[in-house]
Structure 1
Amino acid sequence: MVAMKGIAGAPVSFGVFELTADQPLPDPEEILGPLQDLGYDGVDLGPVGWLGRGDALRRRLREHELVLVGGWVDLPFTDDEAFGRALPELDDALEIFVAAAELDPSRPPLPTLADRGSELRRANPGGAAPGLALDDAGWERLARNVETAAARVRAAGLEPTFHHHACTYVETPAEIDEFLARTDVGLTFDTGHLLIGGGDPVEGWRRWGSRINHLHLKDARTAVLDQVLSEKGGMRDVWERRAFVELGAGDLDVDGFMDAVFQSAFDGWLVVEQDVVPSPSDPPGRVIDDQRANREALRRWLP
């Protein structure tokens, strides 16, 4: 049966992630405080450096009784030259993860690797259009560079995980199969991005369960994706039109999926996510209300 490390929240649920990192971001306390109040045990990193570094990071997490559970590090795995230039970004993030691991060595964060994708993939969310997939040489490059990044993470004393993600070269169920066949890295299973990529989260959990070491739980409305595709829109449109919604408001079978998780041997973190691009028209307090609803939706399994 499941031996979960805990339940975590994420800055992306408050509109703080790479897509909004070029805008003024809220102070971390504005997010850590509500997560603590709502009963979360941990938090995802958000943009590298936003939560602080070293002693400042550890003090901030300790004050809010939260553990750092992981964090997004996307790299251009299909381009050897660009990948080599980007490795210092991974090293920079690893310093933060190592510092945070000192707070709770029994539950160290998992650096969450992901492919950076391409303009072509970002213009075609869902991964279903012809001509988007890697050829064999592309898969060989991706797998080789993932191996290099994973070795760097392990040399730092941590274990990597890899996030299948919309508009990257590991998006669809077939691409996840290919990735797992070519690497030994654990999988960050993201229910919302699997829905966007044309998969079934309950079936996927059973199919890849032995390789899953991190869980991002999010709900999504695939009708939004369909509308964006019909209008020739890209991934940013998917985010801005709120394809990702509070648990139970989209196409995820929350009950069926959570039952499958709790019938499994999963022993990682469950990270609740709801990717949000804030809008000036949002009602005051909307993000807090959504995260309260997300936490309440899980009380049956995680009281």
Structure 2
Amino acid sequence: MKASVAGAPVSFGVFEMTPEGADIVSPDDMLEILAQAGYVGVDLGPLGYLGRGRKLAHRLDRFDLDLAGGWVQLPFTDDDAFEAALPTLREALAVFSDAASRGPSRLPLPTLADDGSAVRRAHPGRGGELDPLPGPAWARLAANAERAAALVRASGFEPTFHHHAGTFVESPEEIDRFLANVDIDLTLDTGHLFIAGGDPVDFVRRWGSRINHLHLKDVDLGELRRVLNAGGGMPEVWSSGAFVAFGKGDIDLAGVMAAVADQGYDGWIVVEQDVLNGPGVAIDRFRAQRAADQRTNRDALAPWA
């Protein structure tokens, strides 16, 4: 398999939901951990975390890592809100260009995602039941996703779309509908597929050549179900420890990777072990735990990539 393996700030508790004031692992510490563990890339994380312009390029060069992708969440179902959010997309694309100016062997993929709704975010995996999307709103979602993709392609990158719990593209049926109506390929996220009731092995086979980016997670399904059955939303899932190191959860990693290999996959595999650290965390201990888990995760993928 020709895939390249990247790590991600979210595996170190650094993403858009990180609590204000929480201690975080520094970008240099994170990149050093990933480089020493054998990763060749990293996801962007929140805009500015890894720096911009020459600072970003220098940081990636220093650790011999390439940028794999980066999260861009947009309100696709609301035309006015979508227009208002386009500067965020353009800002993100400028950062991707900063990273691509280094001439990497594999370009990053701007990772588009829907914004969802408050109801869906509060009830991950149950959006189709509690907050179904009417036909006209689906049409807006598809049209605005195509507009975003056109901007990405005009900047010299290929977009990818991330199905995500708590959004309007979360369930297998919603993913099917999206892929049937929008000319953007898919970021398959094994963890979010579990939340929506899907099986990663089946869906690698089902979506096949439409998968151009992979977010690979292991999940403790018992803990995940406990949180969801108690009425927890995504913050509770992230802080529960339901996303675990490979081998400690319920993903059929060998089955997923065999199915990915059968598809001739040639792209980024971004290892994500989402965690949400709160204020008061002992950051040195937290960093050590995250480093150990990321070594475990990289070693687990060695037979394939």
The question of 1:297 aligning with 2:300 is answered: yes
Q: 1:18 aligns with which of 16, 20, 25?
A: 16
CA RMSD of aligned residues (A): 1.6
- Aligned partner of 2:108 in structure 1 is 109
Shift of 1:125: 1.0
Shift of 1:97: 0.2
- Aligned partner of 2:147 in structure 1 is 148
Alignment of structure 1 residues 172-211 onto 2, 5 Å: 172-211=171-210
Shift of 1:229: 2.9
Unaligned runs of 5+ in 2: none
Contact 1:167 1:235 in 2 (8 A): yes
- Aligned partner of 1:287 in structure 2 is 290
Question: More deviation in 129-138 or 245-254?
Answer: 129-138
Shift of 1:106: 4.0
Shift of 1:107: 1.4
What do residues 125-161 of structure 1 show as CA deviations (whole Å, max 9, x unaligned)?
1136623221211110100110111111111111100
Q: Secondary structure at the match of 2:129?
A: coil
- Aligned partner of 1:216 in structure 2 is 215
- Aligned partner of 1:61 in structure 2 is 60
Number of equivalenced pairs: 300
Shift of 1:230: 2.5
Q: Secondary structure at the match of 1:139?
A: helix
Shift of 1:26: 3.1
Q: Distance in 1 between matches of 2:56 and 2:118?
A: 34
- Aligned partner of 1:50 in structure 2 is 49
Q: Distance in 1 between matches of 2:233 and 2:60?
A: 36
Shift of 1:233: 2.0
- Aligned partner of 1:84 in structure 2 is 83
Q: Distance in 1 between matches of 2:34 and 2:5?
A: 10
Shift of 1:94: 0.4
- Aligned partner of 1:7 in structure 2 is 5
Contact 2:133 2:168 in 1 (8 A): yes
Change (3 A) 1:130 1:209: same
Greater share of helix residues, 1 or 2?
A: 2
Contact 1:21 1:47 in 2 (8 A): no
Question: More deviation in 218-227 or 58-67?
Answer: 218-227
The one-letter code of the counterpart of 1:299 is A
Q: Distance in 2 between matches of 1:120 and 1:225?
A: 19
Contact 2:162 2:187 in 1 (8 A): yes
Contact 1:77 1:141 in 2 (8 A): yes
Q: Secondary structure at the match of 1:20?
A: coil
The question of 1:265 aligning with 2:267 is answered: no
The one-letter code of the counterpart of 1:10 is A
Contact 1:125 1:225 in 2 (8 A): no
Shift of 1:105: 4.7
Shift of 1:117: 1.1
Q: Distance in 2 between matches of 1:259 and 1:89?
A: 37
Q: Distance in 1 between matches of 2:250 and 2:137?
A: 32
The one-letter code of the counterpart of 1:9 is G
What do residues 24-69 of structure 1 show as CA deviations (whole Å, max 9, x unaligned)?
5332101000100000000000001111111111010000000001
Q: Secondary structure at the match of 1:69?
A: strand
Q: Secondary structure at the match of 1:287?
A: helix
Q: Distance in 1 between matches of 2:118 and 2:54?
A: 38
Q: Distance in 2 between matches of 1:26 and 1:257?
A: 30
TM-score for both structures, normalised by structure 2: 0.94
TM-score for both structures, normalised by structure 1: 0.95
Change (3 A) 1:272 1:96: same
Q: Secondary structure at the match of 2:25?
A: coil
Contact 2:111 2:162 in 1 (8 A): yes
Question: More deviation in 242-251 or 221-230?
Answer: 221-230
